[in-house]
């Protein structure tokens, strides 16, 4: 079976500092993978290099049969590989609904209404707001 996400030998960092020194990671479709590590270990850097926010210095990223190793983050999002921001990192100038709609901006527009219903069933407070 081809993995949904296949990271091989990924390298990256900041200036002279190499943070990712050959990271290998495989995620199968339907699988949940948690990345654990102490503060400063490189979890966010890995996330951001995989998503094209910072450039990869080496190695490969394959997602859903596509090579995203050097892709711009716009292409990464279009391919369906997205980050869900932690904590309160929403867009404060947008409404609750607009923040939710962003999740279907590129790919899931036709499923938007159904997906919103699902979200509101899980988080009724969001519907109120
Ligand atoms: N924008 C940045 N510029 C320079 N160094 C950074 C930057 N972001 C993170 N680092 C450094 O990269 C290393 C990994 O950080 P990070 O990926 O944020 O770790 P984690 O998310 O696991 O806590 C740390 O040494 C951190 O200080
Ligand atoms: Mg982090």
Which pLDDT value is given to residue 1?
66
Pick the residue whose CA is nearest to atom 25 on ligand 1.
40
Which ligand number lies closest to the CA of residue 43?
1
Fold of 5-78: Rossmann fold (3.40.50)
Cβ atoms of residues 100 and 126 within 8 Å: yes
Cα–Cα nearest to 60, from 108, 19, 109, 7:
7
Which ligand number lies closest to the CA of residue 37?
1
Residue to mutate (ligand 1; options 15, 44, 86; most atoms within 8 A of CB): 44
pLDDT under 70: residue ranges of the chain: 1
> Does any ligand 1 atom lie closer than 6 A to the CB of residue 41?
yes
Place of tokens 């596509």: 66
pLDDT digits (tens, 9 = 90+) for 66-103: 999 999 999 999 999 988 877 788 899 999 999 999 88
Per-domain residue ranges for the chain? Answer: 5-78, 96-128
């Amino acid at each position: 079976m081809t993995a949904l996400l296949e990271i091989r030998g990924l390298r990256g960092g900041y200036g002279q500092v190499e943070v990712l020194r050959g990271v290998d990671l495989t995620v199968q479709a339907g699988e949940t993978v948690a990345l654990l590590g102490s503060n400063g270990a490189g979890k966010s850097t890995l996330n951001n290099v995989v998503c094209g926010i910072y450039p990869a210095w080496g190695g490969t990223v394959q997602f859903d049969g596509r090579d995203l190793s050097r892709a711009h983050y716009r292409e990464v999002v279009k391919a369906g590989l997205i980050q869900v921001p932690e904590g309160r990192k929403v867009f404060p100038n947008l409404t609750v609904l607009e923040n939710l709609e962003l999740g279907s901006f590129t790919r899931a527009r036709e499923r938007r209404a159904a997906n919103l219903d699902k979200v509101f069933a899980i988080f009724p407070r969001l519907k109120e707001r």
